[in-house]
Amino acid sequence: MKALLQRVRHAAVDVDGERIAQIGGGLLVLLGVERNDSVEQARWLADKTLDLRIFADDYKPMNRSVLEVGGSVLAVSQFTLAADTRKGNRPGFSTAAPPEQALPLFDAYVEALRGRCNDVQTGRFGADMQVSLHNDGPVTIMLER
């Protein structure tokens, strides 16, 4: 399981021209689920997402978590994070979990986030989403478990 975290000033998801989710300051998380992933991994990754100290305080530019700054989280399923690009020029997706496996694991990740964070929004699983963001920093970090 891979989570690409982007510290944002704001982010939003549109589907078919309709805004379905938006946040102010916080984290945009693109989550890729792979075939061998588990609920335990999803929960661990959610905790790591919320506890990672990548927001500024008065002393250091990366010293507080999204929870400590009262930020929001926008989680978006992104199977392309599981792309295998080692051979050729067309990415392969044989390591990506099929939708019937990926959706429950994405939901487990979101549920774990919501257990600790007051404002968690999501994209729409499997939809053609238009994601917009204003990256803060920029700060972009890959988490894997």
Host domain of residue 114? 2-134
pLDDT band at 145 (very low <50, low <70, confident <90, very high): confident
Q: Would 50 be classed as within a structural domain?
A: yes
Task: Read off the pLDDT of residues 29-42 as tens digits, 9 standing for 90 and up.
Answer: 999 999 999 999 99
Q: What's the total number of domains in the chain?
A: 1
pLDDT band at 21 (very low <50, low <70, confident <90, very high): very high
- Among residues 6, 41, 55, 79, the one annotated as catalytic is 79
122 is catalytic: no
User: What are 92-99's contacts with CB under 8 Å, separation 24+?
Assistant: 95/34, 95/35, 96/32, 96/33, 96/34, 96/35, 97/33, 97/34, 97/35, 97/37, 98/35, 99/125, 99/126
- Among residues 6, 41, 49, 78, the one annotated as catalytic is 78
79 is catalytic: yes
As a whole number, mean pLDDT of residues 15-22 equals: 98
Q: Would 62 be classed as within a structural domain?
A: yes
Q: Find the CATH number of the domain harbouring 72.
A: 3.50.80.10
80 is catalytic: yes
What is the model's pLDDT at position 15? Answer: 98
Q: Would 139 be classed as within a structural domain?
A: no
pLDDT band at 107 (very low <50, low <70, confident <90, very high): very high
What pTM value is reported for the model?
0.96
